[in-house]
Amino acid sequence: MTAGYVSAPQRDAKLTAAPGALTSRRINRRARTTMASINLFMKNSLTIRHMRLLIAIDDHHSVIRAATYLNLTQPAVSKALSGLEAGLGAQLFRRSKSGLVATQVGACLIRHARRVVLRIELAERELNEIIGVGFRHVSIGTLPAAAVFLVPRFIARLERETQNTTISLREGTMDNLLPALRTGQIDLAVGLMSSPQLGSDISTEVLLADPVVAAVRRGHLLLGQGPIAWSQLEGFPLLLPPPNTLARGAIESLFHSHMIDVASHRIDSVSTMANVGTLQLTDSVGFLSRSLVEHFRRLGVLDALPLDIPAEVTLEMGLVWVTERERTDAHLLTHRLLRETALTLKDQHEDDLE
């Protein structure tokens, strides 16, 4: 074979492969250029103001509402967003029926922006405590039930003990509070201890094992008859504890043991005020924590039914926090005062029973 000769199949293969290889090199070169542009923009141009702006748009799903929240003009927010998208070379939001929604690129940037802004806010709080400018801050998430009887007593105790700690309260269900706890939007949560466990990254402490009692409105048909048998509840609408609590399973077992079907004519709700309002306006029978029922009994709204419920059927209210997150003096103070408040409530209930 003559030196340097290339057969027709080999030549055709090279010619066929050449466009693909060229395209691949162009794509790689474009990718490297894009990565370099992103790196340069992130290092030199991206600011905390940009991050707060992205978070505001993501929270409000609107440039106009984000501008109002940030106390900026709508053109200023639009211009800043356009600058961000030009600098990154990617669209950060798309329009939908519910407003602006983050794209994949936008969601990635916003997720990290939330963490950065949160760390800066935490640093600000800790610096204020270290330097001693006069105040400390704790953000607490609470279930609606705890917000009625436990948290107000804790705040009253806090005010008696210190004047330099501010509290932010956020009410919600544990499904809402746990993500906020994990992302650092709240420092601690006061909620129901449920089964299954909340997660390996979460620490808990039971503050109050509150017995479950049956509650009805004032003037209910079942009141004034002496001790109530379980069979007498048949036919009445039922308000039951949340499905993921141990108390819920125990209550359902008690109904089943008395041959009462709870599959229908039942209301599942974690809204304290909706539960109380429903009990007040209907003949429903609610199974609520004793502390909650006692609170509304004193207000003349509810009464407890003399129904025999085993003492071990309780709703456990507890404190929840992220295990590995550093806890400040304000966090520790909050923990101690919540524990003391719960103990006082327990002692008051025991005195009432004697």
Return the CATH number at 27.
1.10.10.10
Give the gyration radius of the chain's Cα atoms.
30
Q: What is the dihedral of CA 51, 116, 56, 92, to 10 degrees?
A: 50
Omega cis (within 30) before 196: yes
How many CA atoms does the CB half-sphere of 186 hold within 13 Å? 24
Residue 109 and residue 151 in one domain: no
103: closest CA among 39, 71, 57, 68? Answer: 57
- Give a yes or no: residue 288 inside a domain: yes
Model-wide pTM > 0.85: no
Residue 67 and residue 166 in one domain: no
Per-residue pLDDT of the chain (354 residues; tens, 9 = 90+): 444 444 444 444 444 545 555 455 554 555 555 666 677 777 777 888 899 999 989 988 999 999 998 888 999 999 999 988 888 888 999 999 889 999 999 999 998 888 888 788 777 777 776 676 556 788 999 988 888 889 999 999 999 988 788 888 999 888 888 888 887 889 999 988 765 567 778 889 999 888 899 999 999 999 988 899 998 998 899 998 877 777 788 888 888 888 888 776 778 877 888 899 999 999 999 999 898 999 999 999 999 999 999 888 888 889 999 888 878 888 899 999 999 999 998 887 666 655
Residue 95 and residue 151 in one domain: no
Residue 60 and residue 148 in one domain: no
Separation of alpha carbons 316 and 193, rounded Å? 5
- Which of 87, 115, 143 marks a domain boundary? 115
Instruction: Report whether 322 contacts 220 (CB < 8 A).
Output: no
Overall domain count for the chain: 2
Instruction: Report whether 193 contacts 314 (CB < 8 A).
Output: no
CATH number of domain containing 345: 3.40.190.290
**Per the structure block, which two tokens stand in for 180?**
């906020």
- Which of 50, 85, 115 marks a domain boundary? 115
- Give a yes or no: residue 61 inside a domain: yes
Domain range for residue 150? Answer: 135-354
Residue 228 and residue 289 in one domain: yes
- Which of 84, 115, 146 marks a domain boundary? 115
